[in-house]
Amino acid sequence: MPSIRKISSKKGIRYQARVRIKGYPEQVKTFATLKEARYWNIVTETNIHNAGSIKPCNTRIILFREISEKYILEVLPRQKGFKQEKNRLKIILLHLGEYSIGKLSPAILSSYRDERLISVSGTTVKKELSLVSRIINTGIKDWGYSLPDGNPVSMIRYPKSNKPRNRRLEHGELAKLIGFSNDFMISIMNILIETGIRRGELCKVVTNDINWKLQTLTLLDTKNGTDRIVPLTNVAITSLKALIDTKPNRPSTPIISFHPDHISHQFKKICNMAGIQDLRLHDLRHEATTRFFEKGLNTIEVASITGHKTVAMLQRYTHLRAENLLQRIQ
């Protein structure tokens, strides 16, 4: 922050202006008048914040923890996955936080990668390394940090991703789930299977988003950053009405008052009681997407419902049962 100190010299009263901003060399200059000192403070501080002509400090003394904290404050709040990324960064900082960004070498990052692969999946490590890379790139492009050799993450080998999940509901599993569920969770499961929407999208739905006449649901500001309109089957309509009937009539209030994690936790408890192994709430979206294809919808039609951006992403959720395909080709 800027400051001004009055000093006495052989030339009389002088004004020493000083600007201290973390991560940059301290700037000091002396002026004959207070007005000049104030003006210099304003210009100098502005130039630093705008990454102007003043060069940042040696990156060998700026810790990765420090640049990460700046990233959390200035960048993460604008992202949809704020909570997940923040939790991921906590783990990363336990391993890399005390390294300066100037010493965060490919060798150190490779060692981090290999150590993490012992306890977590390749997909998880890829996400962590990608986050480290984004933070460093932000520091280089937006905050003026100088790394002569470039981003060290770009110089290491990423681990292979896990094979995508292909878990679907097996015969009789839905009946078991319903048998151990209350009315609330039955409605939740029915909606997810009938629409293919994400749990977070469902938890943001308000009554005004539902067009009862056209049987459509408008999802605003989804994970992909766009809105989409989802058709509602009769089962989905009945289940949505069941959820709404349990709450006061507030058109602009979410029809579900629980956090998505709470619903996932309840679903896991139901699976345990029903003796169902390796089934997650998100697998119901997988189930719904595959059912759309089995009903004869094409890729574009399914993507318009599920919100998948690419065919490749859609294929990860598409596991058609051979017996259903046989009925169509005979």
Q: How would residue 181 be classed by pLDDT, with cut points 50, 70 and 90?
A: very high
Beta strands 12-19; 2-9: pairing state: antiparallel
Last residue of a domain, one of 19, 35, 55: 55
Last residue of a domain, one of 99, 122, 155: 155
**What residues does 18 pair with on adjacent strands?**
3, 28
pLDDT digits (tens, 9 = 90+) for 82-100: 788 889 999 999 999 989 8
- Helix, strand or coil, per DSSP, at residue 207: helix
Determine the average pLDDT of the residues in 121-145.
Answer: 91
Q: Which two tokens stand for residue 77?
A: 């709040």
Helix (H) and strand (E) counts for the chain? 14, 6
* One domain for residues 102 and 227: no
CATH number at residue 132: 1.10.150
Q: What is the pLDDT of residue 274?
A: 94
Does a structural domain hold residue 160?
no
Domain interval for residue 13: 2-55
Determine the average pLDDT of the residues in 10-38.
Answer: 82
* One domain for residues 139 and 32: no
Tell me the C-alpha distance between 328 and 325, whole Å. 5
* One domain for residues 203 and 319: yes
Last residue of a domain, one of 55, 72, 95: 55
**What residues does 34 pair with on adjacent strands?**
none
* One domain for residues 40 and 94: no
Cα–Cα distances (Å) from 61 to 22, 102, 105, 114, in that order, read: 11, 8, 14, 26
DSSP classification of residue 206: B
Determine the average pLDDT of the residues in 128-155.
Answer: 90
Does a structural domain hold residue 162?
no
* One domain for residues 116 and 240: no
* One domain for residues 322 and 181: yes
Question: Are the C-beta atoms of 144 and 94 separated by less than 8 Å?
Answer: no
User: At 125, which helix (H) or strand (E)?
Assistant: helix 122-141
- pLDDT surpassing 90 at residue 157: yes
* One domain for residues 12 and 150: no
* One domain for residues 77 and 212: no
Q: How many domains does the chain divide into?
A: 3
* One domain for residues 118 and 44: no
Q: What is the pLDDT of residue 53?
A: 43
Nearest Cα to 324, choosing from 298, 296, 288? 296
* One domain for residues 20 and 123: no
* One domain for residues 192 and 304: yes
* One domain for residues 118 and 264: no
Does a structural domain hold residue 165?
no
pLDDT digits (tens, 9 = 90+) for 29-88: 888 888 888 888 887 877 776 644 444 456 667 889 999 999 999 888 887 777 888 899
Does a structural domain hold residue 104?
yes
Question: Are the C-beta atoms of 197 and 191 separated by less than 8 Å?
Answer: yes
CATH number at residue 252: 1.10.443.10
Determine the average pLDDT of the residues in 89-118.
Answer: 92
Does a structural domain hold residue 167?
no
